[in-house]
């Protein structure tokens, strides 16, 4: 009897620990350790956004690209070193990810108040939420408590991030691999209501396998899923071989309202104005198409679901508790000495004792 109760208690404890490990994050994680954290991040993002509205889409995408590679662990923020090509220098991220300096500003402000407490991964998750709000989306509470990773590998970014030429099946598989549903896929693709794309993402490097000049199986080389008028416009913006000669040219992804967080992405999409094959693909699957149509007719519904799906995306976390580290500089894995001295009670860097359970593993 006693043995059995003991087992039951043990089982309950295991279930409880599994449940908390499954989420591992809490809204207001820094309530007591850094109460101003979320406000300071919001101020840094708002200041940068006042200077350039391109900041908002950049940070939303940066959070997505962080979460799909080793979970949301700030690995996308790490700079390459002589020994390591980091995620940010992988083709899906370079040269398109930008405004890393905004995360640096937010981190500096937070470090000045509460050194060594708030992870870079959480700062990025807060900054993405602030970006949604600044452009007209709904606010939402961000579960936090993510830990920063100590590995950032360019090949892993290439392997995990869905490319713009994926079809519906491939997109669904890519999201399913991260425990995200078809609904999450369609809802989150709505982030393409903001921001810009380089020509290379739809006109191809050297214009092979692209939507404008050499689309497989199309007599005129143009993807038939693209509105002919839009294809004509895109050809003027991205002339043949432009990705080679004008690698920095960009074009808005939502033609209708490029800087507003609204449902016009879906309106454009149903008029064959989706910029990528991955956008147009959402019309090729009945389940996905029904969601697109629902969001065309009900913007309120989409905005509410966006909060649900981006929170879910933000919960793709592999490091919790004392795993990983609280990076002191979001671009650099903590030096081994920072940890060694912090643990011995005489930190050289201004970290409060016990605030950073870093493994101190250096970049490989």
Answer whether 246's CB lies under 8 Å from 254's CB.
no
- 66 marked ligand binding residue: yes
Q: Which of 110, 117, 124, 191 binds ligand HEM (CB under 6 A)?
A: 191
**DSSP one-letter string for 300-346:** HHHHHHHHHHHHHHHT--S--TTSSB--SBTTBPPPHHHHHHHHTT-
Q: Dihedrals φ, ψ of 331, to 5°?
A: -90, -15
**Residue 60 binding partner per list ligand NAG, ligand HEM, none, with a CB distance cut-off of 5 to 8 Å that depends on partner kind:** ligand HEM
Q: Which of 34, 60, 77, 109 binds ligand HEM (CB under 6 A)?
A: 60
CA distance to 72, 147, 301, per residue, from 359 (Å): 18, 11, 43
The runs of H, that is alpha helices, within 194-318 are 200-203, 228-237, 242-245, 264-269, 277-280, 286-297, 299-314
Note the residues at the interface with ligand NAG (CB under 6 A).
Answer: 26-29, 31, 48, 51-52, 81-84, 153, 155-156, 167-170, 172, 178-179, 182, 205-209, 214, 216, 244, 247-248, 285-287, 298, 300-301, 304, 316, 335-337, 362-364
**What six digits make up the tokens of 70?**
């080793």
- 92 marked ligand binding residue: no
Measured from the CB of residue 305, what is the shortest distance to ligand HEM in angstroms?
A: 12
- 71 marked ligand binding residue: yes
Distance, CA of 76 to CA of 87 (rounded, Å) = 5
**DSSP one-letter string for 121-170:** HHHHHHHHHHHHHHTT------EE---B-S---HHHHHHHSPPTT--HHH
Q: Which of 189, 242, 285, 334 binds ligand HEM (CB under 6 A)?
A: 189
Measured from the CB of residue 86, what is the shortest distance to ligand NAG in angstroms?
A: 10
β-strand partners of 233: none
What letter does residue 81 receive in the DSSP assignment?
A: B
278 binds ligand HEM (CB under 6 A): yes
188 binds ligand HEM (CB under 6 A): yes
Q: Pattern of binders to ligand HEM over 142-181, x per CB under 6 A?
A: --------------------xxx-x----x----------
**Residue 364 binding partner per list ligand HEM, ligand NAG, none, with a CB distance cut-off of 5 to 8 Å that depends on partner kind:** ligand NAG
Give the residue from 332, 69, 239 showing the smallest Cα distance to 358: 332
Q: Which of 71, 137, 143, 195 binds ligand HEM (CB under 6 A)?
A: 195
201 binds ligand HEM (CB under 6 A): yes
For ligand NAG, which is the closer residue by CB, 60 or 142?
142
Run of H or E including 187: helix 182-189
Give the residue from 116, 127, 133, 125 showing the smallest Cα distance to 44: 127
- 192 marked ligand binding residue: yes
Q: Pattern of binders to ligand HEM over 70-109, x per CB under 6 A?
A: --------------------------x-------------
Q: Is 65 a catalytic residue?
A: yes
Distance, CA of 10 to CA of 235 (rounded, Å) = 65
For ligand HEM, which is the closer residue by CB, 118 or 191?
191
- In sequence order, what are the residues at sequence separation of 6 or more whose Cβ sits closer than 8 angstroms to the Cβ of residue 28? 141, 144
**Residue 295 binding partner per list ligand HEM, ligand NAG, none, with a CB distance cut-off of 5 to 8 Å that depends on partner kind:** none
Q: Indicate the annotated binding residues for substrate.
A: 162
- Catalytic residue list: 65
Q: Indicate the annotated binding residues.
A: 66, 69, 71, 73, 75, 87, 162, 192-193, 254, 257, 262
């Amino acid at each position: 009897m006693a043995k059995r109760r003991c087992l039951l208690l043990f089982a309950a404890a295991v279930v409880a620990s599994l449940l908390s490990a499954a989420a591992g994050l809490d809204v207001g994680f820094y309530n007591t350790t850094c109460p101003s954290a979320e406000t300071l991040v919001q101020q840094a993002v708002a200041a940068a956004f006042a200077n350039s509205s391109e900041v908002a889409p950049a940070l939303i995408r940066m959070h997505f690209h962080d979460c799909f590679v080793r979970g949301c662990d700030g690995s996308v923020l790490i700079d390459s070193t002589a020994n390591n090509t980091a995620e940010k220098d992988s083709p899906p991220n370079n040269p398109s990810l930008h405004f890393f300096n905004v995360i640096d500003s937010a981190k500096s402000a937070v470090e000045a108040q509460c050194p060594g407490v708030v992870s870079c991964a959480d700062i990025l998750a807060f900054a993405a939420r602030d970006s949604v709000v600044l452009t007209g989306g709904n606010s939402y509470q961000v579960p936090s408590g993510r830990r920063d990773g100590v590995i950032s590998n360019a090949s892993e970014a290439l392997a995990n991030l869905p490319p713009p030429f994926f079809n519906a099946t491939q997109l669904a598989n890519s999201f399913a691999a991260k425990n995200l549903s078809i609904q999450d896929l369609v809802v989150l693709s709505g982030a393409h209501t903001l921001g810009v794309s380089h020509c290379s993402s739809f006109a191809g490097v050297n214009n092979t396998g692209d939507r404008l000049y050499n689309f497989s199986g199309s007599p005129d080389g143009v993807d038939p899923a693209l509105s002919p008028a839009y294809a004509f416009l895109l050809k003027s913006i991205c002339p043949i071989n432009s990705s080679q000669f004008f690698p920095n040219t960009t074009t808005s992804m939502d033609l209708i309202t490029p800087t507003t967080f609204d449902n016009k992405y879906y309106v454009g999409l149903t008029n064959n104005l989706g910029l990528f094959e991955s956008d147009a693909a959402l019309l090729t699957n009945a389940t996905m198409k029904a969601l697109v149509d629902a969001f065309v007719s009900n913007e309120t519904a989409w905005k509410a679901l966006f909060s649900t799906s981006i929170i879910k995306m933000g919960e793709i976390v592999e490091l919790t508790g004392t795993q990983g580290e609280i990076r002191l500089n979001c671009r650099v894995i903590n030096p081994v000495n920072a940890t060694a001295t912090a643990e011995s009670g005489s930190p050289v860097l201004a970290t409060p004792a016990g605030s950073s359970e870093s493994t101190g593993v250096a970049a490989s």
